Structures are given as structure tokens and as C-alpha cells.
Amino acid sequence: MLQENENLLTVLKAELAFVESGGYRTPQEAIWRPQFIFQDSPTCLNYRNLSMLQECSMCALIDLVPSEIRQQRFPCRHIPLDKNGQTLDFLYRTGTEEETYQIVASWLRGAIARLEQEGGFASAQTVAADEHAFAATSRR
């Protein structure tokens, strides 16, 4: 479990660095289409790997996805990102790129802080539960 949490923390930090450095704004490949957060990042298991795709269930982020949605084609699009339960799937349909980047960066900072606050020992379930709790209370 500790290794999984350290891996999650590493992935979240790398993703935040990628977002903050403008990695999605200056794509190396596929500049002809919008970039998909998490999927078009070096943190994705299938980044630039079209020949032998790995299952998303192997991703460090999978525990952040609500269990009932983990079988979706792109589960990382369904991670609750704020207290309103907004997901990338929702933001891709309703938000601007800039709003999406800001919400994702804020979520990443919060998730990293929660993991680090407990010395990297908080579980992915704890981080996910915090996000799900925010989402559930905001829907009332």
C-alpha cells in the first residue's frame, strides 16, 4: 500500500509540473486536436504507446475514480476535481481550456497536500473519499 501511495504522489506531482509548465498548451504531437488531461501526459501509461496499450486499471489514478465508473473507456475523465463534483468529462463539455487547467491544477495541489500531510501515507481512497464527500455535500 505504501508503494502505491508513493507512486500516486509521484504521478500527481509530475502531472502538476506538466500542467504548470504548459505541457498541454504546447503539445509535441497531435497539435491538430485538443489535448486531453491525464491521457496526453507523460504520466499516462499509454502516452506515446499505441502498439501495446495497457489497461487503465493499472494506472496510479484509478483509485481516485468512483468505483462504479472505473470501467468507462477513459476513467481518468471521471475523477471528481472539486467540491461540486466536476470531472474532466464535464469540463470538456462545458468549460474553457483555461478553466479546466485551473481546476485541475487546484485539484492536483490539494490532492498532493493531503497525501504529503500524512507523510505520503494517506491512501488514494482517502484522497478520493475527500473529493467524493465534497461532491456529495455540494449536491444536497
Confidence grade of residue 134 (pLDDT, cut at 50, 70, 90): very low
Instruction: Give the C-alpha separation, 80 to 87, whole Å.
Output: 5
Q: What is the pLDDT of residue 88?
A: 97
**Do 124 and 4 form a contact (C-beta atoms < 8 A)?**
yes
What DSSP string describes 45-71? TTTT--SSPPPGGGSTTGGGS-GGGTT
| Statement: residue 94 has pLDDT above 60 | yes
Task: Compute the average pLDDT of residues 31-38.
Answer: 82
Distance separating alpha carbons of residues 90 and 99, to the nearest angstrom: 12
Instruction: Kindly report, residue by residue over 102-115, the tens digit of the pLDDT.
Output: 999 999 999 999 99
The Cβ of residue 30 has, within 10 Å, a number of other Cβ atoms equal to 10
- Global pTM? 0.79
